[in-house]
A and B are shown apart, each in its own frame.
Chain A
Amino acid sequence: MTVATERPSAGTRLRAPIRQRSRRRGGGPDQGGPDQGGAVRTLVSSAQLRRGHSRAVYFTVLAVTGVLFLLTFFFPLYWMVSGALKAPAELALSTPTFIPRTFHPETYAKAWSELNLGRHFLNTALYALGGWLIQITVDVGVAYALSKLRPVLGRLVLGLMLVSLMLPATALLVPTYLTVADVPIFERNLLNTPWALWLPAAANTFNIYVLKRFFDQIPQDLLDSASLDGAGRLRVLWSIVLPLSRPVLAVVSIFAVVGMWKDFLWPLLVLQDPEIQTLSVALSRFAATGRVPINEMLAGLVIASVPMIVIFLLFQRSIVKGLSAGALKG
């Protein structure tokens, strides 16, 4: 599935820091239990949940849901992490073990070096960080110009960029591939270079749209007064607009890095040389050979997931905010 369609929509949006903070919603994550009345009213009132019979039902539902969630969403990950620690023979047992009988943490090291995962990890990290840098630079430039400099034909440019949102990325797969293989005007073949990932990713309407909307909320007076003090446009962007835009820059950055890290089909096509492949493409290739032992494969899956899970745990709030903001468009 494409990056664009993975950013769904509807709901709250990002607000410029200057605007009044929105009212706190949902009583905040810290509010506990039906015992704490007066919080938010939902389908079933907290008062009703406090009553004896309902209270029992509530806690049963809570427990069942909790267990189901553990099994559905955490257990597969636990199985992956612990499976990599097991010996291959133990993995092949017809009755799987819940806790590894023998621990082989060295499998991770083995996968890292023997499967050359270290290399693919670095490749992926390089692509993600480079892609992030280029996306931010290019898209901030466009959004700032469209929002604050308001050039002639600016609306047309924005409109043309929005058109590309209508196109599912996959509809352009083949012609974009041919373009990357022989870039017109520049006459370059970008296949098997990072540019094949970076440049098409920079044409990102989601980023531009979200950034522009945010910049639009920064009062023009603020920028004008800086101009009167002699600051140029670039200086205004750098020392006023960007610092005010930290929340939206965080959202755009996270989605850029995560999108590049998770991408599969495009890198599969444009990076054929095994040495320069991403983790995802390399793992798919290993699986296809069928010669890599399961425990090493599982270690590879864990290695490919860890950066994403770390990013998620660190930036949960921005990610959830971005999900809703992507709601607008994208």
Chain B
Amino acid sequence: MAVIAVGARDARRTRLRRKVADNLLAYAFMAAGIACFALFSWYPLVRGVLLSFQQVNFVTDPFWVGFDNFRAVLDDPLFWTALRNTLYFTGLALVLGYAVPFAVAVLLNELRHLKGFFRVAVYLPVMLPPIVTVLLWQYFYDPGNGLFNTVLRGLHLPESQWTQSSSTAMLSLVLVSTWANMGGATLIYLAGLQGIPGELYEAAEVEGARVWQRLRYVTIPHMRFALLVMLLIQVIATMQVFIEPYQLTGTSNPDTITIMVLIYRYAFTVNHDFGLAAATSVLLFAVLGAFSAVYLRLTRDRT
């Protein structure tokens, strides 16, 4: 009896010891990762919020200024310009960049030849470093003898000032961005389209559904989830657009300044005011955070 009790206690003790050892080991494995997250993700998150209520000048310690930064940002006409531009970019990018990859994927899914070629082609631009894409298009957009105007001239069509006219500047940025980024969405849609059971199309056809109706009642319902996820991803990404306006039109062009460019100006080039930049980031995050939350919720339920 006593022997059994002692044995049980020993067993429990060894189990406990093993558990403690396993936990120590686990945290040893995670130590570097947790340190990186703590320093470069969790701490900056808290600090960003604090910063938005502080003034940082590197002479004295940061001090509290209440809502002054937010007030200054909301009073800055450039902020409203940047916001309008960002929404305009996001909207245009949705019109062009959201429909095009889906249409292309549906088309490619019907083509029985050259499948590999089409896939490689559409994804190639995604692989290019963004700065390469943007600089290359800068040459194409050159109003003098850039490639685009040369082609338009050759076809006897009216030429355009592209990035250098306020009416077409944003459109030009969206075109580059769409060219550069549509490959990812296209390939994801293609993978989704291939998962649609062929019998459904057969059945629809037997019922007399025409191609258009099959697309409407078979394809699109099956792709609804992918379409929604890509919509969120695209909105989140395009709201943060930076490199296109930064390189193609410059950081002080009122036609194309975006929220990210404004944050960059506030912090690093014009104002050197980290508080202003942090306040703007918090505003941007408030909007994007909502989209991100929906996106995460959706993908978690599904996967």
Q: Is the CB of B45 within 8 A of A203?
A: no
**B80, CB-defined interface residue at 8 Å:** no
Question: For the complex, what is the distance from the CA of A172 to the CA of B44, rounded to whole Å?
Answer: 6
For chain A, what secondary structure do more than half of its interface residues adopt (helix, strand, loop), or is it mixed? helix
**A95, CB-defined interface residue at 8 Å:** yes
Q: Is the CB of A5 within 8 A of B236?
A: yes
B191-234: contact bitstring with A at CB < 8 Å (1 yes, 0 no)? 11111101101100100000100110011000001100110010
Q: Is the CB of B121 within 8 A of A43?
A: no
Could you say which residues of chain B place their CB within 8 Å of the CB of A32?
112-113
A5-B233, A165-B296 known; A141+B113 contact, CB < 8 A? no
Q: Is the CB of B145 within 8 A of A94?
A: yes
**Stretch of A105-113, A152-160, A218-226 lying at the B interface:** A152-160
Query: B130 contacts which of A1, A10, A145, A160 (Cβ < 8 Å)?
Result: A1
Question: For the complex, what is the distance from the CA of A324 to the CA of B278, rounded to whole Å?
Answer: 34
**B179, CB-defined interface residue at 8 Å:** yes
A43-B215, A174-B48 known; A258+B34 contact, CB < 8 A? no
Question: For the complex, what is the distance from the CA of A171 to the CA of B268, rounded to whole Å?
Answer: 15
Question: For the complex, what is the distance from the CA of A309 to the CA of B129, rounded to whole Å?
Answer: 10
CB A314 to nearest CB in B, in angstroms, measures 11
A69-B118, A94-B150, A265-B242 known; A8+B26 contact, CB < 8 A? no
Question: For the complex, what is the distance from the CA of A319 to the CA of B110, rounded to whole Å?
Answer: 23
Query: A69 contacts which of B26, B117, B195, B219 (Cβ < 8 Å)?
Result: B117
Question: For the complex, what is the distance from the CA of A70 to the CA of B121, rounded to whole Å?
Answer: 8
Can you spell out 10 A-B residue pairs with CB atoms less than 8 angstroms apart? A1-B243, A11-B192, A32-B112, A43-B110, A43-B201, A145-B25, A166-B296, A320-B123, A327-B188, A329-B296
Give me the interface of B with A, judged by CB distance under 8 Å.
22-23, 25-27, 29-34, 36-37, 39-45, 47-48, 51, 56, 106-132, 135-140, 144-145, 147, 150, 179, 181, 184-185, 187-188, 191-196, 198-199, 201-202, 205, 211, 214-215, 218-219, 225-226, 229-230, 233, 236-237, 239-243, 247, 260, 263-264, 267-268, 274, 277-278, 281-282, 284-285, 288-289, 292-293, 296, 299-300, 303
Give me the interface of A with B, judged by CB distance under 8 Å.
1-2, 5-6, 8-13, 25-26, 29, 31-34, 36, 39-46, 49, 61-62, 65-66, 69-70, 72-74, 76-77, 79-80, 83, 92-96, 137-139, 141-142, 144-146, 149-152, 154, 157, 160-180, 183-185, 199-200, 202-203, 208, 233, 258, 261-262, 264-265, 269, 279-281, 283-284, 287, 294, 297-298, 301, 304-305, 308-309, 311-313, 316, 319-320, 323-324, 327-329
